[in-house]
Amino acid sequence: MSEVMEIRKQMPLLPHQMELMMDTTTQILGMCSGFGGGKSFSAARKAVQLLLLNPGCDGIVTEPTYPLLTQIMVPELKTALEAFEVPYRYNKVENIFYCVVEDQPTRIICASMENYSRLIGINAAWIVSDEFDTTKHEVAIEAFRKLIGRIRRGKVRQFVIVSTPEGYRAMYQIFVLENNPRDPKYKAGQKRLIKARTYDNHHLPADYIERMESLYPGAHIKAYLNGEFTNLTQGSIYHEFSRELNKCDTVVRPGEDLHIGQDFNVGKQASCVCVKRIVMMPVAGTAYWDELSNSVQCEMEPVEQLHVVDEFFGQLDTKATIKAIQDKYQPEGSQAGDDNYHTIHIYPDASGRNRKTNNASTSDIAMLEEAGFYVHAGASNPAVQDRILSMNSLINNARNLRRLLVNPTCETVTNCLERQVYNEKTGEPEKGKHDHMNDALGYVVNTLYPVLKPMHDDVDFDIYG
């Protein structure tokens, strides 16, 4: 097809990107790829291709949210349209590209997936949905059901879904569960899923994959580098935690700063006391045989670890928690500089700004501040899955590097890390018995060692040439 070959001539495409462009017959076409696989690039160029193949017909492009639409896809579409010299005018208020194709006015309508209901009245020739799987599962499925019925014009009609797989969610349901030949509704050739790995992109810097493996745990690497569907929300939440492999005998040093995670619950206050330690660990890929020592050696590098050294659990309220911490780590009569005085950095549940676990007129966080603790809390808590990802990445990453260690004397922390599971029905962390201490520890970890999961291929270099 001429438009495909023209795209191929004007920009070098990776194999999976070329597959996406060459397929103009599959009704529901998907591409799942790891980070750095050029997904947003591909989505924008596929949209321009479908635009050129359907002069005079509307097309739709979606992102999970409005900010992603304006920050990622709109600039990418402008670049793609300009590359192919398609005349256009972008209306920022409407989020519509007014283009001219074969002397016919042709629109690209941009919208967030969370507002898909606004698109239901549009008759379109095609839809390209970027980062589809990062939308909430129920929203993504409902949007897919509603929007596919709007594809009813044009010569080349396609619904194109591009995303990093996020476990067994919407893409898995559409392309695997609902694409079974045994299903009475199955139609041969109606759906096709193209899979791509980050490793396939030879344009990436040499250290990109190594950097990713140092950030993410093994299960996430399967999704975020291999583009595979994998279990991210079932079974044990902290499945890589081992009371043996994540064990330390660390104790608090005289006068050192303490980092305490704090979860507020009446009668079940949870405080997790941590310290930082620098240890020398092997550098990946530097192993060599040393003839002098007749052994394998490797380069070493300093790595910061977080060690859990103490816990407070079951205090009645925040006032009682403050007293317990101060009695042990800031005893009466001690002051800064004394061996038995410790500066307290506390990382509480952010909702404590507006909540009280006793009858006092002061909020929980305000009480911590009045106690003289250094409070580290944002306006709101991080997303639960972001906090879990940060925890799992510190417990053990894809390079088998364990940076979160727990002293066995902290029995509550150890038991909670071993036993908290996902709710089978909701896919959310089970609440009640084993969540409070994990939440407390998670507030520390996510603040000090956040894993900023990219929503798109936010690689700060030119992937394509």
Exposure letters 287-319 (e unless 16+ CB within 10 A, then b): eeeeeeeeeeeeeeeebebbbbbbbbbebebbb
Does residue 459 surpass a pLDDT of 70? no
- CA-derived radius of gyration, the chain: 26
Per residue in 160-190, pLDDT tens? 999 888 777 888 889 988 887 776 677 777 9
Name the band, by pLDDT with cuts 50, 70 and 90, for residue 216: confident
**Which residues are CB-neighbours of 132 under 8 A, at least 6 positions away?**
62, 64, 113, 140, 161, 162, 163, 170, 171
If one compares 229 and 22, the residue with the highest pLDDT of the two is 22
The DSSP bridge partners found for residue 266 are none
Name the least confident of 35-49, 61-75, 282-296. Answer: 282-296
The reported pLDDT for the residue numbered 458 is 45
Does residue 285 surpass a pLDDT of 50? yes
The reported pLDDT for the residue numbered 93 is 94
pLDDT over 90 percentage in the chain? 51
The reported pLDDT for the residue numbered 379 is 86
- What mean pLDDT is predicted for residues 355-362? 62
Do 211 and 204 touch, CB atoms closer than 8 A? no
Question: Which amino acid does the sequence have at 405?
Answer: L
Does residue 128 surpass a pLDDT of 50? yes
Q: Where in the chain is the domain with CATH 3.30.420.280?
A: 258-448
The reported pLDDT for the residue numbered 361 is 58
What is the rounded distance in angstroms from the CA atom of residue 305 to the CA atom of residue 344?
18
Name the band, by pLDDT with cuts 50, 70 and 90, for residue 48: very high
How far, in Å, are 62, 208, 215 from residue 36 at the CA level? Answer: 20, 9, 15
Please name the fold of domain 2-201.
Rossmann fold (3.40.50)
* Residues 258-448, CATH architecture: 2-Layer Sandwich (3.30)
Q: Where in the chain is the domain with CATH 3.40.50.300?
A: 2-201
The DSSP bridge partners found for residue 311 are 272
Name the band, by pLDDT with cuts 50, 70 and 90, for residue 381: confident
The reported pLDDT for the residue numbered 26 is 94
- What mean pLDDT is predicted for residues 117-136? 90
- What mean pLDDT is predicted for residues 182-200? 80
Does residue 303 surpass a pLDDT of 80? yes
Highest-confidence segment of 216-220, 287-291, 390-394, 441-445: 441-445
Name the band, by pLDDT with cuts 50, 70 and 90, for residue 52: very high
Query: Residue 406 — φ and ψ, nearest 5°?
Result: -130, 130
- What mean pLDDT is predicted for residues 398-410? 91
The reported pLDDT for the residue numbered 287 is 77
Does residue 7 surpass a pLDDT of 50? no
Does residue 3 surpass a pLDDT of 60? no
What is the rounded distance in angstroms from the CA atom of residue 105 to the CA atom of residue 127?
18
Joined tokens for residue 70: 């304006």
What is the rounded distance in angstroms from the CA atom of residue 280 to the CA atom of residue 304?
9
If one compares 223 and 27, the residue with the highest pLDDT of the two is 27
Name the band, by pLDDT with cuts 50, 70 and 90, for residue 8: very low
If one compares 342 and 465, the residue with the highest pLDDT of the two is 342
The reported pLDDT for the residue numbered 5 is 45
pTM: 0.64
